[in-house]
Amino acid sequence: MKTIQAYRFALDLTPGQERDVLAHAGAARVAHNWALARVKAVMDQRAAERTYGLPDEQLTDSISWTLASLRKAWNAAKGDVAPWWRACSKEAFNTGLDALARALKNWSDSRTGKRKGRPVGFPRFKSRRRATPSVRFTTGTIRVEPDRMHVVLPRLGRLKLHESARKLARRLDNGTARVMSATVRRDGGRWHVAFCVEIERADRTPAQPGTVVGVDVGITHLAVLSTGELVDNPSHLTGAQQRMRQLGRALARKTGPDRRTGQRPSNRWQRSANRLGRAHARVANLRRDGLHKLTTWLARQHGTVVVEDLNVTGMLANRRLARRIADAGFAEIRRQLAYKTGWNGGRLLVADRWYPSSKTCSGCAAVKTKLALSEREYHCAACGLVMDRDRNAARNLAALAAEYDTAGSGPVAGRGADQKTRLAGQVAVKRQPGTASAGQTGTVPPQGGTTNRVLTRAH
């Protein structure tokens, strides 16, 4: 099975190498801003001409937004715009132009309804001080040195890694991986290089291919499994909140930048800002590490994983719980399970957003009309079942897998579940795009393999 995977390593750059990388990132920013100004000038001119009453055929000729067209225009003007262009790799300018081409396409598709999700705004000019330095290389010499502690990139030369690249080097030596691009980026005060690699993955099967586990995510416990296991929520952001407050107060006492007067930040302000940035980066790294360990264990252990389709954006509107919900990373858990189950030969089932997993009794399938968030134990009035609320929801999620297999060839309802609580105990299951189906180790093509099935529980 071929798949695209990224390998990310921290770098230990010398002062000279850091200046070179910043110069390449600056070249990408210059190309991006120049092309954006050119596109914006033509759009504004055409808009002004329309106000004069000119017909469309007499307007200023529009320009193409494709990467090839932007690159052709840049090559014709780079001698005047950037006389120093020979000091940087051509990939630096291509990085900025490619980012602009993608942003313009996303904006256009969002306006015309071709792109789903939130509306995408028009691209903005990149600031030297606020933009994240980044440059991507797709051609030239890109390799991992035999000592596995150095990498070679075009024009930047030999860069030292902070950690060993043995996992990537083994695949490259075996011929099961092909490097497609390398991106150097600064995150949290540290430089990283990320290799985009096409990998030939061996077929794998979970340790228990016939088992089904329902996963109910929460705040007190990050995940409650239908098997009864509890995964504690480490709450990394809450633990670091006191130190972040101290760093934030120290930053506020120093002379920072002022865009109105053009005031430059002081060196002490910059050092304090770097400390606060490193604190935030540490929390993000700890959260990412914990979520990867949890999802990898679930995907390698169980053949079928069932989760809920949560409205995380709507949950973040609750100002009392927004910080804890964001710290837990509910959406990231589902995103990682989506591709890891496919890698390990399992499958991921996603319960419809309106399926009442918490209101349904896992013993007799009776459904409560209302269930307050403060009720942490589920009490069934029909059969007398008393169980932890989250474990009851996880058991209901696990039961969906059997019903999905039983009624897999039944009628398909495009909408899935509805917003009303159903007293008949109906169930809705949605196949996650891009995951392997039962008994398969390949991946289902995204956007085309989604089916919503409404299954009725037998009485």
Residue 431's CB is within 10 A of a number of other CB atoms, namely 19
Closest CA to 215 of 204, 197, 231: 231
Distance in angstroms (rounded) separating the CA atoms of residues 123 and 102? 10
Helix-strand-coil split of the chain, %, nearest 5: 40, 20, 40
Distance in angstroms (rounded) separating the CA atoms of residues 154 and 23? 14
Catalytic, 308? Answer yes
Q: Are 305 and 341 in contact (CB under 8 A)?
A: yes
The secondary structure of 62-77 as a DSSP string is P---SHHHHHHHHHHH
Q: Are 413 and 231 in contact (CB under 8 A)?
A: no
- Structure-token pair, residue 62: 């529009």
Catalytic member of 98, 308, 327, 352: 308
Catalytic, 203? Answer no
- Helix or strand holding residue 107 (H, E): helix 90-112
Distance in angstroms (rounded) separating the CA atoms of residues 440 and 304? 12
Catalytic member of 20, 91, 216, 327: 216
Catalytic member of 98, 327, 390, 403: 390
Report the C-alpha dihedral over residues 154, 158, 162, 167, rounded to 10 degrees: 70
Catalytic, 163? Answer no
**Residues labelled catalytic:** 216, 308, 390
